[in-house]
Amino acid sequence: MLRYEYKYIVPIYKLDKLRSFILPFMKLDTFAESQGGQYTVRSIYYDTPGLQCYYDKMAGVKRRNKVRLRGYNDDGSRGTVFFEIKKKVDGPLFKNRASLEYRHAKKVLEGEALEQHLQANQRIPMARDNARRFMYHIYARQMHPAVTVIYEREPYQSILHDSNNNLRITFDKNLRAVAYPSPDSLYDEDGAKPVDYQHFIMEVKFNHYFPSWLKPAIGSLGLIHGPASKYAMCIQALGLDKVRL
Question: For residue 62, what is the DSSP state?
Answer: S
- Per-residue pLDDT tens over the stretch 148-178: 999 999 999 999 888 888 999 999 999 999 9
pLDDT at site 78: 82
- Per-residue pLDDT tens over the stretch 31-61: 999 999 999 999 999 999 999 999 999 999 9
CA separation for the pair 203, 225 (Å, rounded): 10
In the predicted structure, residue 115 carries a pLDDT above the cut 70: yes
In the predicted structure, residue 126 carries a pLDDT above the cut 90: no
Top pLDDT among 101 and 115 is at 101
Contact 183, 44 (CB under 8 A): yes
Q: How far is the first Cα of the chain from the last one, in angstroms, to the nearest whole number? A: 33
pLDDT at site 128: 87
pLDDT at site 127: 85
DSSP string, 115-155: TTTBPP-TTSTTHHHHHHHHHHHHHHTT-EEEEEEEEEEEE
Q: Which of 152, 155, 134, 149 is nearest to 232 (CA)?
A: 149
Question: By mean pLDDT, which of 10-14, 75-79, 97-101 is the weakest?
Answer: 75-79
Mean pLDDT of 74-84: 88
Which pLDDT band, with edges at 50, 70 and 90, does 195 fall under? very high
The residues pairing with 177 across neighbouring beta strands, listed in sequence order, are 149, 193
> So where are the chain's domains?
4-242
Cβ-based burial of 86 (10 A; exposed 0-12, middle 13-18, buried ≥19) = buried
Contact partners, residue 26, CB within 8 Å, separation at least 6 = 156, 157, 158, 159, 167, 169
% of the chain residues with pLDDT over 70: 98
Question: What is the pLDDT of the chain when averaged over all its residues?
Answer: 93
* CATH 3.20.100.30 matches 4-242: yes
- Per-residue pLDDT tens over the stretch 127-147: 889 999 999 999 999 999 999
